Homo-oligomer: A and B are copies of this chain.
Amino acid sequence: MNNFDFYNPVKIAFGKGKISEINKLIPANAKILMLYGGGSIKKNGIYKQAVNALENHDFIEFSGIEPNPRYETAMKAVELVKKEKIDFLLAVGGGSVIDATKFIAAAAKYEGDDPWDILANYAKVTDALPIGTILTLPATGSEMNGNSVLTKAATKEKLAFGSPLVLPKFSILDPEVTYSLPKRQLINGVIDAYVHVIEQYLTYPVNSPVQDRFAEGILLTLIEEGKKALQNEQADYENRANIMWAATMALNGLIGVGVKTDWATHTIGHEFTALHGLDHAITLAIVLPGLLTKLKEKRSEKLLQYASRVWGIYEGSDEEKIQKAIEKTDAFFRELGAKTLLSEHEIGKETIQEIISRFENRKMAKLGMQQDVSLADVQEILESRM
């Protein structure tokens, strides 16, 4: 196991009716900005629950944060924060709203010339407004980590930053808020969380049995509960609760401590979202099986462990077991309804070339924390997913 530091002070309030507790979690005298997306929270009652809970607080609103949230939109919120002297940000939404809120929290306190540097030039975040979240979509894990991804619409760049200063002070996880989600979004969340786990688990062994078994436990849960969610005609509380908790645990830092993580699948996937607006989870479902196939020799040890412990594959040669595990992974995504081939999204070779060029322009010759994915590999991976 490698040396590591772990620090996750996010307060989690989990369960039915927990939204009502935000009044105790936000300082009484705080001036709050409530941030949300396109207004679905007004239809499904979450907005009302939040407003009721804040009846003794002073708050204003900022809406219209889009999926794959835009830097440009976030900067409008930063202006409002400064003008209104806001001192607490309440994000009500999924990963997009929470990610945008993290950037807003950091940008509002940024003392450099241009907050874009936080995303594009690793400018250090030295202060941030406090954040709380009411999670409406289990998927990204953003509710319990300090990471954020934004897209600059002008240049179609999708970039990330992270800081412990933007860890939410609290996050409310009420599984009932997912009842009104379109099944597609719920399923995308399952795939997103699944790939988060894979990117921290399916790399190189470092003798980390606790982290490995935690990762496998989350994967098994997502497989079981993802399939149940698909089959259930009516939303089932326990099913939604288990998906929600699994997705949070998938990316709160815990399973990644002391192990080798990757993120190459995310790096490649982001490009399809930036260029063609594909759902984030779908981009991961496209890339991952190709990437694992390309790396199946380098990463054979963990792939074999994955094959047996997650998919119960014990028969055949090592190569056959690995092949079968990758096929099962792809089949799982497809069973959930994901189109995992580029042709199914009418994306062709020219996009692959464009993506390679974009990486070249950013001087990214090798991708991922493990640096074991070259641009030639990327080309081969994506061509295998046509």
In the bound complex, do residue B1 and residue A242 qualify as a contact, i.e. CB atoms below 8 Å apart? yes
- Known contacts A217-B213, A217-B216, A224-B209; is-contact A1 B258 (Cβ 8 Å): no
We find that the number of chain A residues with CB closer than 8 angstroms to chain B is: 41
Binary interface profile of A, 6-25, with partner B (CB < 8 Å = 1, else 0)? 11111111111110000000
| Nearest B-chain residue to A247, judged by Cβ | B210
- Known contacts A217-B217, A242-B207, A245-B258; is-contact A6 B1 (Cβ 8 Å): no
In the bound complex, do residue B7 and residue A11 qualify as a contact, i.e. CB atoms below 8 Å apart? yes
In the bound complex, do residue B220 and residue A213 qualify as a contact, i.e. CB atoms below 8 Å apart? yes
Tell me how many chains of this kind the complex includes: 2
In the bound complex, do residue A213 and residue B210 qualify as a contact, i.e. CB atoms below 8 Å apart? no
Closest chain-B Cβ to A273's Cβ sits at a distance in Å of 28
In the bound complex, do residue B7 and residue A14 qualify as a contact, i.e. CB atoms below 8 Å apart? no
**Does any Cβ of B come within 8 Å of A3's Cβ?**
yes
Closest chain-B Cβ to A200's Cβ sits at a distance in Å of 15
**Does any Cβ of B come within 8 Å of A225's Cβ?**
yes
Task: Collect the chain B residues with CB atoms within 8 Å of residue A319's CB.
Answer: none
7 contacts between A and B (CB under 8 A): A3-B16, A5-B14, A209-B220, A209-B221, A209-B224, A210-B221, A213-B218
| Apart from the given pairs A209-B225, A254-B254, 16 other A-B contacts in the complex at a CB distance below 8 Å | A1-B15, A1-B242, A1-B245, A6-B14, A7-B9, A8-B8, A9-B9, A207-B242, A209-B217, A210-B217, A210-B221, A210-B245, A210-B249, A213-B214, A216-B217, A241-B258
